[in-house]
Amino acid sequence: MFSKNTHQIIRDKIPCFRNAGTVLIFLFFVTTGIAQTDQPGFFTKGVELFKQNHYYEAIQYFEKFLETEIKITPRAQPFAVQKKSPGKSNLNMHNEAIYLLAESYRKLHNYSLAEKWYKEAMSFSPKAYPACAYWYGVSLRANQKYDEAYEAINSFRERYHKMDDLLRGADMELENLKFIKEQMKKEKNEFIVSRKEMAVNASAYASSVSESGSLVYTTAFDDKTNEQYVNRIMESSGENTGHQDKIILQQDAPRFHQGMASITHDGRKIFFTQWTVNKGITSSAIYTSDKTDTGWCKPVLMPDPVNVTGSNSAQPFITPDGKYLLFSSDREGGVGKYDIWYATLDSQYNTLLVTNAGNVVNTTGDERSPSYHQVSRTLLFSSNGHIGMGGYDIFSAKGDFLLSDWEKPYNPGSPINSSRDDLYFISTDEDNLWNSGWLSSDRSTDCCLELYLFKQNNAQLLYGTVIDCASNQPLAGVSLTVKDSKKNGRVLTSGKTDGEGTYQFTLRNSSRFEIVAEKEGYHASNKTYIIHFDAGTDTIQNNICLALIRQEEPEQKDAGTDESVTLAKFSFNQSSL
């Protein structure tokens, strides 16, 4: 079921440690069994661990090798030990240790330290380390040193002429840097993006929202019983994650990681990823579990064609209507490495067929973490193969599942995206895609993905006049209450009309709200509005008329209730409801 060679599903990052020094010391002492005087042995062990994809442990040996080297020869070492290596006529252990140290930090997405060691390696022979300038430029871009990154990559591009992935990568990085410069010219007030503080010393990423509105996310934490870090699916009661959060699924086998979950609209079924890591290689598959009165049942592996022997499937997302299951997979028949695929489901969530999203969405690179916004018919995903700000960027594409026809992907730019990796975008507003939601990013750390809450920076200035329906005369002292239709009628604001019958309220991020107008002797007015808007301030005029209760009529509070839903679209202008 699983492939033997694939890169890690979570981007090869360990949990987020706040005290990096403690971790480095810990990892060194638990892995080292070599006498401190065995300087060449440090290098040899480091290379061995690097080849096994154990980059954290390899770093300890390379740094110990360089530290010991300095103690032995405080000056430059013209007589450094040399040995043969494929592609290098004479391997200088000092140079090789520095370059592999840079490579290790890069593969762990610690671009700050990767930049430091690549910069030192830039003095080595370009023939021995032809990719050094390219990865140095990538690290500079990730660290937001855009001008220096352009110089480094452009210099690499001018002298590197082999038609391979490095050359194509350099061309794309130059395009990314152009895109970044365009983003820097834009005003940064379209969105408010804020990192969620975690109560636990771990990463948090890959969020979704349950049918009850609670936040479901993946976190990595220390399983002290089994002396390892594991990923588990957590549920939070609201936007604030903390100690009250609970693990959704219990896992009897601690070596299995679970995460990246999506729950059906009725809350009765969960789709998630389960994976293992063996010698640095991740093997993943999609599982399901059904909810009963006593909790979630034992997970079941989804059959072919969702999980295919010899490949990996991960990051499932069930559409709100339950008709499609989106996921990422590196199976054969795709466009690139990891592609976006989707399964067509029957009413019992059985798979009817699996379809590739096509070469408009998918690239020769990697496409990950799909989601879908039902009302706007928009596919959301992350990609490192489309032009963006570098690493994984979040993209959107409108289209049709039945035709597998998608428009050219749109990059929302900064601050939704950053120069680091940005994944797992979900919208929490069923009416307006970009109004509010969650994403995961490592923009503020060198170790791991963290949760970010985003909200579109918008306001709805709502004003109008309340009049008598028969006489058209303004009514003073009318009580108005504005409620959030999505959150069980939570009151957003309230007030009364003035002497001229006018009112004015300012709302934020309110795409669906209810206005209740009441005055003694009149039938109440109750209307719900759905508004589609962009960032900025929308000025919305809404006049209301109240019908007088005739004396022969029995007074009923809801007699004049109007339950019709009014649809409106606004974009930086004045409109009337």
* Half-sphere exposure at residue 119, Cβ-oriented, CA atoms within 13 angstroms: 10
Same domain, 280 and 309: yes
Q: Are 242 and 236 in contact (CB under 8 A)?
A: yes
Percent of all residues in the chain with a pLDDT value above 90, rounded to a whole number: 66
- Is 6 among the domain residues? no
Give per-residue pLDDT as tens, 9-56: 444 443 444 444 444 444 444 444 444 456 789 999 999 999 999 999
pLDDT of 233 above 80:
yes
Q: What is the pLDDT of residue 576?
A: 40
| CATH number of the domain where residue 248 is located | 2.120.10.30
Same domain, 477 and 412: no
- Is 491 among the domain residues? yes
Q: Which of 93-102, 103-112, 190-199, 455-464 has the lowest mean pLDDT?
A: 190-199
Mean pLDDT of 61-85: 61
| CATH number of the domain where residue 165 is located | 1.25.40.10
**Final residue belonging to a domain, choices 439, 456, 473:** 456
Give per-residue pLDDT as tens, 396-431: 999 999 999 999 999 999 999 999 999 999 999 998
Same domain, 106 and 135: yes
Q: What is the pLDDT of residue 448?
A: 86
pLDDT of 8 above 60:
no
Mean pLDDT of 353-370: 98
Domain ranges, residue 221:
191-456
Q: What is the pLDDT of residue 435?
A: 93
d(CA 413, CA 386): 12
pLDDT of 213 above 90:
no
Same domain, 152 and 211: no
Same domain, 430 and 462: no
What is the SS3 assignment for 89? strand
d(CA 482, CA 504): 11
Q: What is the pLDDT of residue 16?
A: 44
Same domain, 164 and 81: yes
Q: What is the pLDDT of residue 376?
A: 94
Specify the higher pLDDT residue, 442 or 186: 442
Q: What is the pLDDT of residue 24?
A: 45
Mean pLDDT of 539-562: 73
- Is 1 among the domain residues? no
Q: What is the pLDDT of residue 236?
A: 83
Mean pLDDT of 510-539: 87
Specify the higher pLDDT residue, 32 or 120: 120
- Is 60 among the domain residues? yes
Q: What is the pLDDT of residue 556?
A: 54
Q: What is the pLDDT of residue 529?
A: 84
Same domain, 417 and 497: no
Same domain, 495 and 448: no
**Final residue belonging to a domain, choices 456, 482, 509:** 456
Q: How is 479-518 classified by DSSP, letter by letter?
A: EEEEEETTTTTEEEEEEE--TTSEEEEEESS-SEEEEEEE
- Is 415 among the domain residues? yes
Mean pLDDT of 196-218: 78
DSSP 8-state class, residue 407: P
In angstroms, the Cα distances linking 108 to 15, 337, 383, 441, 445 are 11, 19, 18, 14, 12
Helix (H), strand (E), coil (C) string for 540-555? EECCEEECECCCCCCC
Mean pLDDT of 468-478: 97
Same domain, 208 and 357: yes
- Is 7 among the domain residues? no
Specify the higher pLDDT residue, 489 or 401: 401
User: For residue 381, what are the contacts with CB-CB under 8 A and spacing of at least 6?
Assistant: 340, 361, 367, 368, 369, 370, 371, 394, 395, 397, 409
Give per-residue pLDDT as tens, 108-117: 999 999 999 9
Q: What is the pLDDT of residue 90?
A: 67
Specify the higher pLDDT residue, 256 or 10: 256
How high does pLDDT run on average in the chain?
A: 85
Same domain, 245 and 313: yes
Q: Which two tokens stand for residue 498?
A: 């003035």
Number of structural domains found in the chain: 3
**Final residue belonging to a domain, choices 392, 426, 456:** 456
- Is 15 among the domain residues? no
Same domain, 465 and 447: no
Give per-residue pLDDT as tens, 167-179: 999 999 999 999 9
Give the CA dihedral 266, 341, 279, 230, nearest 10 degrees. Answer: -20
pLDDT of 79 above 80:
no
Mean pLDDT of 66-70: 82
Q: Where are the alpha helices (DSSP H) in 88-190?
A: 93-107, 111-121, 132-142, 146-159, 165-185
Q: Are 421 and 441 in contact (CB under 8 A)?
A: yes
Mean pLDDT of 206-215: 84
Mean pLDDT of 84-95: 70
Mean pLDDT of 303-321: 97
Q: What is the pLDDT of residue 198?
A: 65
Q: What is the pLDDT of residue 88?
A: 58
Give per-residue pLDDT as tens, 145-162: 999 999 999 999 999 999
Q: What is the pLDDT of residue 30?
A: 43
Q: Are 6 and 281 in contact (CB under 8 A)?
A: yes
| CATH number of the domain where residue 482 is located | 2.60.40.10
Same domain, 296 and 389: yes
- Is 61 among the domain residues? yes
